[in-house]
Amino acid sequence: MNTRNDNSMIVKLEGPLPAYPAFKEGIRRAPNRGYDLNVKDTKIALKNALRYIPEEHHETMAREFYEELRTHGRIYGYRYRPEGRLYGKPIEEYKGNCVEGKAIQVMLDNNLDFDVALYPYELVTYGETGQVCQNWMQYLLIKRYLEVLKKDETLVIESGHPLGIFRSHELAPRVIITNAMMVGMFDNQESWHHAMQMGVANYGQMTAGGLMYRASGHRPWHLQYHSQCRKNEAGTDGRRESFGISLRLLRPRRNERSSAQGGRHCWSCVHRGGSG
């Protein structure tokens, strides 16, 4: 065990193994994605999943993770999924040091609501493969990072893996996310499938891995991003403008239904600087 790294981590999963959760009947489940790793890569995939949990549970969870990989083509860490239904609760029910950290937790849970997600147990929100993150250990860690995140810090997430919190600025993003950045000769379907099995890539579609999928018919509030122009002092040469992002909690409009109910998918709630 790398005790130096373990001792330096403030946010981590500790304690006894949680009980294996029951699966609710009638909830759609993802198909077997296919398992074709060799022995060497299988061992690496297991190590990539085991890094999130205490060493005393590795023997038990290595067998469990291998069975998931063999039968599902992915390691989801079902044991670490919170019991029952996940949904976007009122923001005041979440722990956090800043409103952005709490608001992003609302968005995260909304993406995994039984009434919103395509395959909620496999963390797929929509689009057949659009995942919030790769496994439930990552989900729990992201939640814990968001609970301690401060208004002058930024959480960095790579394909569902929380790299950590970095000091930034109040006008900086509270979370920076990248998903499935396959480059060069590995930018193809075969390599992506291999990386997903290995636990090093997550295809987030757009608003699944971006934690901003909206299906307002299933929760009392929805989040709206809007651009906010702020003016800051720029020395004796005058003033300059910089852009930040703020959050509003809005009641869903009466004529809107979620896409899970056959309603429309609205993109107007997201302010984006680029295409899409």
**pLDDT tens digits along 251-268:** 344 333 333 333 323 222
Alpha helix ranges (H) inside the chain: 3-8, 39-50, 58-72, 99-110, 136-148, 189-198
Q: Report the pLDDT value the prediction gives residue 202, as an integer from 0 to 100.
A: 87
pTM over 0.75: yes
Integer Cα distance of 165 and 227 in angstroms: 24
Give the end-to-end CA distance of the chain in Å, rounded to a whole number: 43
**153-158 sheet: strands from edge to edge:** 161-167, 153-158, 175-178
CA distances from 264 to 70, 216, 252, 257, 272 (A): 37, 10, 13, 7, 19
**Which tokens hold the place of 146?**
């968001």
Looking at this protein, which amino acid is placed at residue 182? M
Longest dimension (CA), the chain: 66
Q: Report the pLDDT value the prediction gives residue 4, as an integer from 0 to 100.
A: 53
pLDDT of residue 240 exceeding 80, the answer is: no
Beta carbons within 8 Å of 250's beta carbon, 6+ residues apart? 221, 222, 223, 224
**Residue 273 or 37, more confident:** 37
80 and 65 in contact (C-beta within 8 Å)?
A: no
Q: Report the pLDDT value the prediction gives residue 88, as an integer from 0 to 100.
A: 93
The mean pLDDT value of the chain amounts to 79
